[in-house]
Amino acid sequence: MPTRFIGDGYWEIISRQMSIVTKSEQQRFKDGKATVIGCGGIGGETIEMLARMGIGELTLVDKDAFDLSNLNRQTLANISDLGLDKSSVAKEKVRLINPYVKVSTFSEHVDESNIDKVIGDSDIVIDALDNVLTRVIVSRAAKRKGIYYIHGAIHGTMGQVTVFDPDGDSSYEKMFNLPSLGRELDDETLSDLKKVTSGVPPVIGPTPNIIGCLEAIESFKILTGVGEVTLAPRILTFDLLDFASFSLDEI
């Protein structure tokens, strides 16, 4: 690292946002820990924005490697990254953006057996996933451990974001009326959940990246205390082909 970045370089990196937050508020973000589950379209943008805003610690989780079909939207990927683990590429990208961020990775699928290890003592868990079953596992663990769970999802040109307070009445399963609500994740429940996720969703580049930015700013609001968090049952939704569709609703 060049000598000029030793010492207070962190504060130079984030200096342009210091008219928005106080130093103590930014310090809370600097002390914050976030786990991002999924390092693809949504997750890649979330990770980059968190690093640029000065998050203190990131845990990056993804079993997959980059392939050609990722290039239309996943900003962490380029041709030279094809075949490489997404979590490892994400870690290197963070290092190049903001070397003051501490990063750990898990290149494994998330399930009930490892979710507590993956989340650890994070302040926030960010959903950058593409299937309902893993979201149920992650959201349950976050609530049990008293951690905020930020949900984001896309389909084509449509996106949605909401935040679940671990002490709140809402939950991911309750809000979206999932068949797993109040049930053990046995074979029958897993079968019912798999029916909710119907194949690989269509997607165009801007959609997941907007969701990633929104999840990053929700993280910033939670950790700094600045602004109003989009807490469930409120949900921010949009369709990029219809700008009149941008709305904040309660469901």
Percentage of the chain lying above the pLDDT 90 cut? 88
The answer as to whether 151 is a domain residue is yes
1 part of a folded domain: no
How high does pLDDT run on average in the chain?
A: 94
| 2 occurs within a structural domain | no
Could you tell me which residue, 112 or 200, shows the higher pLDDT? 112
SS (H, E, C) 191-227: HHHHHHCCCCCCECCHHHHHHHHHHHHHHHHHHHCCC
Angle between the N-to-C axes of helices 23-30 and 206-224, in degrees from 0 to 180, rounded to the nearest 10: 110
Task: Give the model confidence (pLDDT) of 162-209 as tens digits.
Answer: 999 999 999 999 999 999 999 999 999 988 988 887 677 899 999 999
Q: Is 55 part of any domain?
A: yes
pLDDT tens digit string along 211-236? 999 999 999 999 999 999 999 999 99
The answer as to whether 43 is a domain residue is: yes
Look at residue 2 in the predicted model and tell me its pLDDT. Answer: 46
Residue 152 lies in a domain: yes
- CA–CA separation, 118 and 58 (whole Å): 11
Q: Does the residue 15 lie in any domain? A: no
Q: What is the band of 24 on the pLDDT scale with cuts at 50, 70, 90?
A: very high
State residue 248's pLDDT score: 78
- Token pair 């290092």 is found at 95
Q: What CATH code is carried by the domain that includes residue 200? A: 3.40.50.720
List the domain range (segments joined by +) for residue 163: 22-250
Q: Tokens for 160?
A: 């949605």
* Total domains present in the chain: 1
- What percent of the chain shows pLDDT beyond 70? 97
The torsion region of residue 236 among left (phi > 0), alpha (psi -120 to 50) and beta comes to: beta
Q: What mean pLDDT do residues 142-151 have? A: 98
167 three-state secondary structure: coil
pLDDT of residue 197: 74
CB 62 within 8 A of CB 90: yes
Give 53-97 pLDDT, tens digit per residue. Answer: 999 999 999 999 999 999 999 999 999 999 999 999 999 999 999
